[in-house]
C-alpha cells in the first residue's frame, strides 16, 4: 500500500469557527513552481479534474479576479477569487458558493505541501481533490 505522504491525506479541522476538510500532498518541487500551477489559469485544466477550460480576467489570479470555468458537462460556471495571499493561499466562490481553498506550505526551497481545503458539506469532493493532487505531482515531476 502506498504511503500517505505520496498519495495525499484527508484531514478534518476547524478554522475561523468553520469546519472544513483538507486534502494535502507533499511535493519535491519548489514552492514557486507549485504556486504557479495553482495560480496560472491556463494550467488549471491540466491538474483540475473538474476544469475543462478557463476564461479569466487575468492569467495569474489575484484577489478579485473573475472568470468562468468549463465543467466536464460543458457548462461555463462563474467564479471570483475571494481570498489571496501570495505564495500562501487563495480561495474562491464558484457560482456564488464558497468552494475550495488552495494553501501552499513551503517546507524548504525544493519542497512544499499543497493543501486543498473544502467546506465540510463537500466531503465527496475530497476524491476530486486527491485526483488534483496526483495530477499536480505528475506535472511538477516533469519540471
Q: In this predicted structure, what is the pLDDT of residue 19?
A: 78
pLDDT of 42-75, one tens digit each?
999 999 999 999 999 899 999 999 999 999 999 9
Q: In this predicted structure, what is the pLDDT of residue 8?
A: 58
Q: Quick check: 100 and 118 in contact, CB under 8 A?
A: yes
Q: Cα(101)–Cα(89) distance, rounded to whole angstroms?
A: 7
Domain ranges of the chain: 13-141
First to last CA, the chain: 27
Work out the number of other CB atoms within 10 angstroms of the CB of residue 55.
Answer: 13
Q: Cα(1)–Cα(40) distance, rounded to whole angstroms?
A: 33
Q: Cα(135)–Cα(143) distance, rounded to whole angstroms?
A: 13
Q: Quick check: 143 and 20 in contact, CB under 8 A?
A: no
Q: Read off the pTM.
A: 0.86
pLDDT of 9-42, one tens digit each?
555 444 455 678 999 999 999 999 999 999 999 9
According to CATH, the superfamily of the domain at 13-141 is START domain (3.30.530.20)
Q: Quick check: 37 and 48 in contact, CB under 8 A?
A: no
pLDDT of 84-136, one tens digit each?
999 999 999 999 999 999 999 999 999 999 999 999 888 999 999 999 999 99
Amino acid at each position: 500500500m502506498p504511503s500517505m505522504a505520496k498519495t495525499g491525506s484527508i484531514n478534518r479541522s476547524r478554522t475561523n469557527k468553520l469546519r472544513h476538510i483538507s486534502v494535502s500532498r507533499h511535493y519535491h518541487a519548489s514552492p514557486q513552481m507549485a504556486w504557479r500551477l495553482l495560480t496560472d489559469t491556463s494550467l488549471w485544466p491540466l491538474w483540475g479534474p473538474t476544469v475543462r477550460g478557463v476564461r479569466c480576467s487575468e492569467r495569474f489570479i489575484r484577489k478579485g479576479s473573475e472568470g468562468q470555468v468549463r465543467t466536464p458537462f460543458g457548462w461555463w460556471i462563474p467564479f471570483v477569487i475571494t481570498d489571496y495571499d501570495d505564495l500562501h493561499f487563495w480561495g474562491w466562490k464558484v457560482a456564488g458558493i464558497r468552494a475550495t481553498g488552495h494553501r501552499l506550505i513551503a517546507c524548504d526551497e525544493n519542497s512544499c505541501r499543497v493543501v486543498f481545503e473544502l467546506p465540510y458539506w463537500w466531503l465527496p469532493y475530497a476524491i476530486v481533490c486527491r485526483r488534483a493532487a496526483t495530477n499536480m505531482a505528475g506535472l511538477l515531476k516533469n519540471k
